[in-house]
Amino acid sequence: MGGNEATVKHLIDKVEVTEACLTGRAGLALISKYLKAIGIEKILAGVFSFLKKSSKGTSLVSIFHQLMCFFFDGTSMRLVRFDQLKRDDGYAASIETSKDQMLSSHAVKRFLQNVSIVRVWLFRKILRRLFAWRLSVEKPELISLGIDTMVMDNDEANKREGVEPTYKKVKGFQPLQLYWGRYLIDAIFRNGKAHSNYGDHVIRMISTIVGLIRRSYRSRVPIVLTADSGFFDQKVLECCENLQIGIIVGGKMYDDIKEFISAASDESFSEYKGAGNTWVFTEFGGRRKCWDRFYRVIYTKPIADDCSQILFEFARPETIIYTNLGLDNEITKSILARHDEKPTYIGPQAIITAYHRRGRDELVNRGLKDFGGEQLPFARFAPNAAFYYLMVISFFLFEVFKRDVGADIIPLTWYATTFRRHCLDVAGKIVRTGRQVVLQVTRATWDFLRLDILWARCISADSFAHVT
């Protein structure tokens, strides 16, 4: 009987409304504090000052703050979410915004629809400044870049400007994106039909980023670009040569190469194991008939997968890799000079490994989709581009947050879904006294997140406002 009575004491008898300021997203207070510390909203407001001609209503700084918190929150990417948040006092308190400044979905729509296609590219300016900031913080001795496209599936959209058939057999957008490790550092938002090497986008993007690196970081730091066969083009190779950067790019299996490989002796092939896979490879020099330069060419064929399973002949995809690394040029000399004359970075095994690490770029794409999704909310191209760029900028800062603020607490490998579940989906109570606003959480949350440490790091986060 006593046991039953004890059980009854823990049963909920009824539900009531409380006037206390509660939130289920208390972790967003960390994000809010961090965004303010690094100065991102003020930078955005300065660049896009033309969007607001009156001082009335919600300030530009607050608009960008709420939009970026919206992406970090990630509960929903539908703009109607703003109408729900506008009524949530606890959410407003978590992102340090007064209730009367909270945006409605209509306000967000009007704001983003005011960004013209001519001005939307200003978001890239912000993204590049963020990249320059991280270079100054992380100080790499060699900068390895990757370039690829990302298909954003909008197949279910009825009428959405720019939604076109993609190579993945779905309708959507296909932005061109440039990567540095886990960071997405530049992007061109494009329609679905824009293939990898469409127009002069690649050459202009590479040239701009290389110029930024040498101007704002180091003039002679080695730079290597890796790309798949979709970017195999003479103009791209020549661009890299003229910029004196390394290029590792997949090539096409032309008939003359097939004949050369078929005639090669077994002794000309070597075996290489890396990242759990086993390849056979051979190396030679080559150029296409219309080219004026020779390149190193490495032919590879996998013979065992990462589970050490021998692959059948028909399941062995052949790969041709072109590179200017290891030739008598400035980029090779620059790399060797910084690696004590050791050819470890330019050896054939290193080239093969670097090429197959392009898969990390796909992981960045997967991370971006997990962070913000693929479906875009507008019928017109320009506001969708603005929405996309704000998502990309927020995603960049998500990766920085994990590295700078969450170091030794939050794993770098966490995708946004996992991060939100552990760090943002936190119950909290906002208590207002005469002099202070206090966010209260449970002891379990405090200990798990080491909240005092994260809070101190957010407040003292380095501003990138000084980076131009």
Residue 3 confidence (pLDDT) above 80: no
Domains of the chain, by residue range, sit at 18-118+376-459, 229-357
Name the residue among 214, 235, 210 with its Cα closest to residue 224.
210
Task: Give me the sign of the Cα torsion angle 361, 388, 175, 202.
Answer: negative
Q: Greater confidence, 259 or 274?
A: 259
pLDDT score at 310? 46
Question: DSSP 3-state assignment of 114?
Answer: coil
- Model confidence at 280, pLDDT cuts 50, 70, 90, reads confident
Percent of the chain with pLDDT over 70: 93
pLDDT digits 0-9 by tens, 204-222:
999 999 999 999 999 999 9
> What does the pLDDT read at residue 466?
63
The model's confidence at residue 347, banded by pLDDT at 50, 70 and 90, is: confident
Determine whether 344 is exposed, middle or buried from the number of CB atoms within 10 Å of its CB (0-12, 13-18, 19+). Answer: exposed
Q: What are phi and psi of 359, to 5 degrees?
A: -60, -25
The whole-number average pLDDT for the span 3-19 is 77
**What band does 106 get if pLDDT is binned at 50, 70 and 90?**
very high
Q: State the pLDDT at residue 403.
A: 95
What per-residue confidence (pLDDT) applies to 43? 94
- Residue at 316: amino acid letter: R
pLDDT at 315: 39
Task: State which amino acid sits at residue 301.
Answer: K
The enclosing H or E element of 282 equals strand 277-286
Cα-atom radius of gyration of the chain, to the nearest Å?
26
The pLDDT value recorded for residue 358 is 78
Whether the pLDDT of residue 415 is over 50: the answer is: yes
Residue 287: C-alpha distances to residues 42, 137, 322, 326 (Å): 50, 40, 9, 16
Q: Which residue has the higher pLDDT, 27 or 118?
A: 27
CA atoms within 13 A on the CB side of 141: 8
Contact 285, 294 (CB under 8 A): yes
Give the residues across from 271 on adjacent strands. 280
pLDDT-based confidence at residue 468 (cuts at 50, 70, 90): low
pLDDT value for 340: 57
Q: Name the DSSP class of 191.
A: B
Tokens for 157? 């959209």
Contacts of 173 (CB under 8 A, 6+ apart): 151, 152, 154, 162, 163, 189, 190, 191, 192, 376, 384, 388
CA distance 225 to 232: 12
Mean per-residue pLDDT, 85-96: 95
Average pLDDT over residues 324-337: 87
Give the pLDDT confidence score for residue 125 in this predicted structure.
94
| 362 vs 19: CA distance, rounded Å | 47
Residue 314 clears pLDDT 50, i.e. is over it: no
State which amino acid sits at residue 269.
F
Task: Give the least confident one: 273-277, 322-326, 376-380.
Answer: 273-277
- Identify the pLDDT of residue 311: 41
Per-residue pLDDT band at 61 (split at 50, 70, 90) = very high
Average pLDDT, the chain: 89
Integer angstrom CA distances of residue 207 from 244, 293, 295: 11, 20, 21
Query: What was the pLDDT predicted at 444?
Result: 95
> Is this structure's pTM higher than 0.85?
yes
**CA nearest to 101, candidates 89, 113, 116, 119:** 89
Q: What is the pLDDT of residues 246-266, one digit of tens each?
A: 999 999 888 888 888 888 888
Greatest alpha-carbon span in the chain: 93
446-464: per-residue pLDDT in tens?
999 999 999 999 999 988 7
